[in-house]
Structure formats: structure tokens, C-alpha cells
Chains A and B, each alone.
Chain A
């Protein structure tokens, strides 16, 4: 059964600005799907519609089989959301935040305390559980918000850029916790514009740009949509008069990224460039992202 179904979702804000125009996708249960896209692509709007915060202007969406507008309370019983800009109250300790949030969802005290312990340990916050969040780092505070959501064991969890602003260690802690949820059968829809994050933790990626889904699938499947297999990265370029094909070239002034269909073509391009250093590597999700969000399909 699909945990999330979005069909032609559109949402217009005041001033006739479309947050999303035509968003359609499906998310299977027990998977971690990443909604990937540039700033302003419509990721947060999509999440807000799916979690019943915003009403869609057009289209429809279902979470665990329930319509997000018609069956709003059935949906809310089954979801949990970590908003993008959520800030944990400076007067809360991690223990109070997670336990208290579970109580607000109707949990009993002992169950709430047991689950709070599990997720504070998982996110390495147990040692600081009784410290008020003012005395914690920004990364720790962000992890408290993630723990509040993961502890709910909701059928579908939505995390809007949960790792933004976290250092490498913090990101890995969150990623491990997210994969633990998936291992236990949970479903997560996560938004990010971090390619490495999407590449590392996702089961499926939905690429969104200008309010529309431009591609979806596994990381390998998205990369295979690129007509190129290799890229040449030239630093300190002296003869910047190479390929003018805009979908083949990313111009960073004294640095260039040039895409090639094969390794032999990449080698040929590399030999024609006058630059301080030239390297050749295989294309990745970031390249697919640039290619697909620029509308070169």
C-alpha cells in the first residue's frame, strides 16, 4: 500500500503566487523518500499540504489511504511533522520536550517516558536530557525536534530539512536514527537540498523544481536519466572557449564542469583544456539534479 499519494497538487498563496503547481508522486510504505529540490521549489508547501497545515488549491492527496482534506483527523492521527524552522522552547529540557510532545498526542506517561529514553539515546541526547535547551548547542536543539517526531512512531513522519545547520557528526546521528525508523517499518518523507544526504539515506528521490515534480526514482535511476556518464572538472582555466552547449557546461568563471557521454570523450575534452588542474569523474546525483532542474530533459 502506498503511504502517500499526491495527485496534481497545487497551492496558491496570497498574491496569486503558486507554491506548488502540479505535484504528483507516490511513496511506498516502509521507505525513506527524499523530496529534493532547490530553494523555493515547493518542498515545504508540499509537506504542509500533506500534513494538513495547508489546504491544496487543486489536486488531491492521501496519507495512509485517507484524504488530507476530507479525512483530516484520520490523517492527523497517522502523521508527525518536524517543521523546517522549528525551534525547541528555550525552557524545555530534551526529556521534557520529547515526553511532553508524546503526552500531547495522547500517550500515557510511562509509554512516553520509555520512548523518550529510546530516542534521546538514539540521537545521543540522553546525557544532556535534563539540561534546558538554552544551554545546548544549535545542533542538539535541532536533534531534540527530530527526537520529538521520531518518538511518536507515527505511520508517516515528515521531516522538513531536519539536518540543515547540523555539523557532519550531527547529520550522521540523525541519518542513523532515520534509518532505524525505516528498519522498524516506518515511513519517512524528508525534504532536503543536500545531495549527499539524498544519495546516502534515501530509498527513493523525488526531484521537485518550480512547483512541479521533474523526476522520481532511485538515486541510480535518476543518474541514468542524464545523457552523460562522466564529467571533467577543470580548475584555473585559461582557454574558456570550450563547448557552448549549456546543458553540457557549468561555468564557474575560472572553473568549469563539462559533461561527456563517455570516458573517451571526457579524456578528449580534458586534453583540449588549458587549466591548472583537470580531473575526470563519474556523474552523480548532483549532476542529475542540475541537469533535471534546469529543464534539460
Chain B
């Protein structure tokens, strides 16, 4: 019991320290909220109710992807840059406490996004869609965190880590069929577009929620499984907690 309490304190300690910048600079949260609202209006204007349903899928999956590859990686990169990382290694904190603490802090961004889109889900009675998006967002989150960490731990000087993770995060969220359905693409291109974790997850959710079918569901499921396995393998080879 005592061990659990101590572990919890370590996790919360990390979340406490890493959350300071969000508290001091809440404009990031305002930006996050405004872009959610903006995208909702955009998709509604061009796609009506169907567009609004798609923003739920896109925002949940895109948000969870962004946490992993972008926010967690940047936070870890920042700690490396400030040498806080070394202070933490030379201490009783375990990598799992560190990562969970950093992750908990990062949750503030999707929580804000979810709160913003919750009224849309309520108006459209789309709670099922939201739940499927959250469930299918988990492997995307895992993949994103592992890939983000693999990158940030490999970079010699993590000064410009956001210059690496931001484009990756944005590119794999905006270009492939996450904000739009894959069935609008010509069939051969769908296989390429859905070989990406974000779009594969979005496709699964769309099929499960009856928002259209563009490919056999086993393909995106296999894609997600492959991404999870590869990113876990990559991270396990790359992430080191001291003793370098």
C-alpha cells in the first residue's frame, strides 16, 4: 500500500511540475478550444450533420495522436534540454512514473477538446461515436507516445524537437483521411492512405459507427496492430533511463 502511495506521489509530482507551463500560459488551451470550434463550423458549413459527426472522430483521434507524438515528446525533450532529465534519472523515480506523470499533464489538452465537442455529441446523440473514437484512439495514443519518445530520445540536441515532432504530428493528422472519409479517394490510394495509424483508426470508427465503408475492416485493424508493435519495439530499443 505504501509503495502504491509513493508511486502515486512520484507520478503526481511529475504532473505537478510539468503542468506549470500550461497554468502560466493558458492561451494554449484557448487556441485548442478555438480550433475545435473553428473546425466544427468548417465541417458543418461544407458537410452539414455528416461533417459534424466526422469532426468528433477526427478530433478525438487526432487529439490523442498529437498528445503522444507532439506534447509528450516535446515535454521530454524540454526536460532533456533543461537537464531536469538528469536530475530525475539520479533519483528514485522510475521511467514509468515519469511517463505517466507527463502523460497525465498532457491529458489537459484532449480533455479541453472533448469538453468542447461534448455539446455537439449531445446535440447529435453521437455518444456511441465518441466512445468508439476514444477506444480506437488508445492504440493511436500508444503509437504516438512510443514514436515520439523514440524520436526525442534519439535526437542528440533536443533544442528543436518541436521542429521535428510538430510536422510529423500535423502531417499524419491533416493529410490522410482523418478529417475526411477514405471512401472519397480512388480505391488503390485508400490502401496507402489507410496505412497510417491515425487514418486507420478513423476508418475503423467510421465503419463501426455506420459512417461509410471504404475498405475491408481487417486492413486498418492489421495496420493499427502493426504500428503498435513496431512503435513499441522501436521505443524499447531507443528509450534509456540512464546508464547510457
Residues of A within 8 A of B (CB): 48, 51-55, 69, 72-73, 76-77, 79-89, 91-92, 96-97, 100-108, 132, 148-149, 152, 158
Contacts and interface: CB of A to CB of B under 8 A. Distances in A.
B50 interface: no
B31 interface: no
B16 interface: yes
Given A72-B243, A89-B21, A91-B21, A105 B13 contact: yes
Contacts of A55: 243-244
Contact of A103 (B9, B82, B83, B89): B9
B90 A105 contact: no
B45 interface: no
B86 A81 contact: yes
B160 to A, nearest CB: 17
Given A52-B243, A53-B90, A101 B13 contact: yes
18 contacts: A52-B89, A53-B86, A53-B242, A53-B243, A55-B244, A76-B90, A85-B83, A88-B82, A89-B84, A96-B20, A97-B17, A103-B9, A104-B17, A104-B88, A105-B13, A132-B24, A148-B87, A152-B91
For A51, A73, A84, the residue with the greatest tally of chain B CB atoms inside 10 Å of its CB is A51
Contacts of A158: 90
B16 A81 contact: no
Contacts of A106: 6-7, 9-10, 13, 92-93
A87 B14 contact: no
B218 interface: no
Nearest to A109: B9
Would you list the 6 A-B pairs with minimal beta carbon distance, nearest first? A103-B13, A104-B13, A81-B90, A51-B90, A100-B17, A106-B6
Contact of A76 (B21, B92, B244): B92
Contacts of B87: 80-83, 86, 101, 148-149
A219 B243 CA distance: 33
A286 B91 CA distance: 34
A79 B87 CA distance: 10
Contacts of B242: 52-54, 72, 76
A100 to B, nearest CB: 4
Contact of B17 (A72, A82, A83, A92): A92
B86 to A, nearest CB: 5
Interface string B230-244: 000000000000111
B interface, over-half SS: helix
B25 interface: yes
A103 to B, nearest CB: 3
Contacts of B9: 103, 106-108
A91 B16 CA distance: 12
A132 B234 CA distance: 38
A84 B82 CA distance: 11
B17 A89 contact: yes
Given A80-B91, A81-B91, A104-B14, 19 more contacts: A53-B86, A53-B89, A76-B242, A80-B87, A86-B82, A86-B83, A87-B83, A88-B82, A89-B82, A91-B24, A92-B20, A102-B13, A103-B9, A103-B10, A103-B13, A104-B88, A105-B10, A105-B93, A132-B24
A297 B84 CA distance: 40
B195 interface: no
A104 B92 CA distance: 8
Nearest to A73: B92
Nearest to A81: B90
A132 B24 CA distance: 9
Contacts of B16: 96, 100, 103
Interface in B14-64: 14, 16-17, 20-21, 23-25
B93 to A, nearest CB: 5
A112 to B, nearest CB: 8
A102 B78 CA distance: 20
Nearest to A107: B9
B206 to A, nearest CB: 40
A76 B82 contact: no
Given A52-B89, A80-B91, A105-B10, A91 B25 contact: yes
Contact of A91 (B13, B20, B91): B20
B12 interface: yes
A162 to B, nearest CB: 13
Contacts of A69: 243
Nearest to B16: A100
Contacts of B6: 106
Nearest to B6: A106
Nearest to A106: B6
For B14, B83, B244, the residue with the greatest tally of chain A CB atoms inside 10 Å of its CB is B83
A55 B244 CA distance: 6
For B16, B17, B92, the residue with the greatest tally of chain A CB atoms inside 10 Å of its CB is B92
B92 A86 contact: no
Contacts of B10: 103-106
B229 to A, nearest CB: 28
